[in-house]
Amino acid sequence: GNKNINAKLVLLGDVGAGKSSLVLRFVKGQFVEFQESTIGAAFFSQTVAVNDATVKFEIWDTAGQERYHSLAPMYYRGAAAAIIVYDITNQASFERAKKWVQELQAQGNPNMVMALAGNKSDLLDGRKVAPEASIYPSPLLFESYEAQTYAQENGLFFMETSAKTATNVNDIFYEIAKRLPRL
Ligand code: GTP
Ligand code: MG
């Protein structure tokens, strides 16, 4: 039969990584070049149909600014899923993403479905974080930035996304919906 599933989902990641832009693309199909930095957090919802189920995501788009860090547990507590977002042109944002993964592993729901989003994949010239070491001729240059490997080792699934071009945006939410436990 058809199942309706409500799933709380939280987006975490550095300032400017593109959390709000991913949500705006997913929920409204829009993109703005000058998206304002989030204050506190913002709430959205969107529904995805997957196999025999309809998943209603209740989405918390958190603020990346450090001064809001202490609020984050309110948003990831009880969450069924998390998207940890970094900007592929910003190494520091990848390091920040790993910190969020550690925090979720320590404090989050152990059954949480976690996705790692390497956002701004449209900015190929500015790339600083390699998706996979093997596609680059010089492993030395990129050895600390193996996002795919990192994700595999830490039980996340990984996708590069672009809120600007919409690449992989619906897909990452759909992949999460597929992986949610069926009640
Ligand atoms: P905070 O709310 O401050 O934590 O930031 P955020 O993670 O919500 O980032 P936001 O969505 O506000 O995006 C920051 C900037 O990056 C904005 O100017 C966006 O237009 C831009 N941006 C977001 N996603 C993309 C993308 O996929 N490609 C490009 N080129 N720019 C993007
Ligand atoms: Mg934001």
Q: Which of 163, 183, 130, 156 is nearest to 61 (CA)?
A: 163
Q: What is the pLDDT of residues 135-163, one digit of tens each?
A: 554 444 443 357 888 999 999 999 999 99
Q: Which residues line ligand 1 (CB under 6 A)?
A: 13, 15-21, 32-35, 37-38, 63-65, 119-120, 122-123, 162-164
In this prediction the ipTM stands at 0.99
Tell me what pLDDT residue 182 has. 77
Overall average pLDDT of the 112-137 stretch:
79
Tell me what pLDDT residue 143 has. 39
Query: Is the pLDDT at 40 greater than 50, yes or no?
Result: yes
Residues 6+ apart with CB under 8 A from 71: 40, 41, 62, 63
Query: Is the pLDDT at 75 greater than 80, yes or no?
Result: yes
Q: Which residue has the higher pLDDT, 137 or 109?
A: 109
Q: What does pLDDT average to over the chain?
A: 90
Residue nearest to atom 5 of ligand 1 (CA): 16
Instruction: Ligand 1, residue 34: give the atom nearest the CA.
Output: 18
Q: Ligand 1 pocket test: pick from 11, 15, 20, 127 the residue with the most ligand atoms within 8 Å of its Cβ.
A: 20
